Amino acid sequence: AQSVTQLDSQVPVFEEAPVELRCNYSSSVSVYLFWYVQYPNQGLQLLLKYLSGSTLVESINGFEAEFNKSQTSFHLRKPSVHISDTAEYFCAVSPLRASGSRLTFGEGTQLTVNP
Amino acid sequence: IAGITQAPTSQILAAGRRMTLRCTQDMRHNAMYWYRQDLGLGLRLIHYSNTAGTTGKGEVPDGYSVSRANTDDFPLTLASAVPSQTSVYFCASSDGPGYGYTFGSGTRLTVV
């Protein structure tokens, strides 16, 4: 079984400041790692994912996440946030080579970017 | 546009009534899921289907049922709604491990 812990339920920051949303996971098998974003009154959208290879993965809107196997973490970072980044962010994992592809989600981190 | 369609978008339902939430995908994904999202509790899996003709229980299946007669449709039925089923319900689909999920826009259900 897998579990995901998002260490901060709410992260308030000012516009143009850097931000880090923390995610730790626990699993007895190798996993794929994902970050999803949910804007108000919308469904979740895939932001980025780590499957294999380079441990640093990037999204098209400036977010990046680094897989750290020894610390079982997959923290999400952005060097300079915009008001439009205000949303809830979910970290998720799924086991490799499992029947089906069920994701286990963290409880989410609400990022609020203030002017 | 390829994706998942959920209906209705929102609904107010009297307790004790039966309700079916609809979910249709046009991506030919094998796996489909139903989650509920509640403040402070994140996303909780209700039921899933790895392929047409099969279904399984998630972590909060009580009071809900699903069917998967074909690849595209995965309806969720509340046989007799209770106020604790007030929530936002999301349907999702996946093309397999490593692909992640595609989510629908959700159904906001209020049981009164």
A50-64, A87-101, B6-20, B22-36: segment of lowest average pLDDT? A87-101
- SS3 of residue B14 by DSSP: coil
Confidence of residue B1 (pLDDT cuts 50, 70, 90): low
Tokens of A102: 């069920």
**Looking at the predicted structure, is the pLDDT value of residue A99 above 70?**
no
Chain B positions touching chain A (beta carbons under 8 Å): 4, 31, 33, 40-43, 45, 48, 50, 56, 90, 92, 94-106
| Of the partner residues A90, A100, A107, the one whose CB lies closest to the CB of residue B50 | A100
**Looking at the predicted structure, is the pLDDT value of residue A101 above 70?**
no
| Mean pLDDT value of segment B78-88 | 97
Q: What is the mean pLDDT of chain B?
A: 94
- SS3 of residue B65 by DSSP: strand
**Are A63 and A46 in contact, with CB atoms under 8 Å apart?**
no
Task: Give the per-residue pLDDT at B41.
Answer: 85
> Using the beta-carbon criterion (under 8 Å), do B97 and A96 form an inter-chain contact?
yes
Task: Give the per-residue pLDDT at A54.
Answer: 84
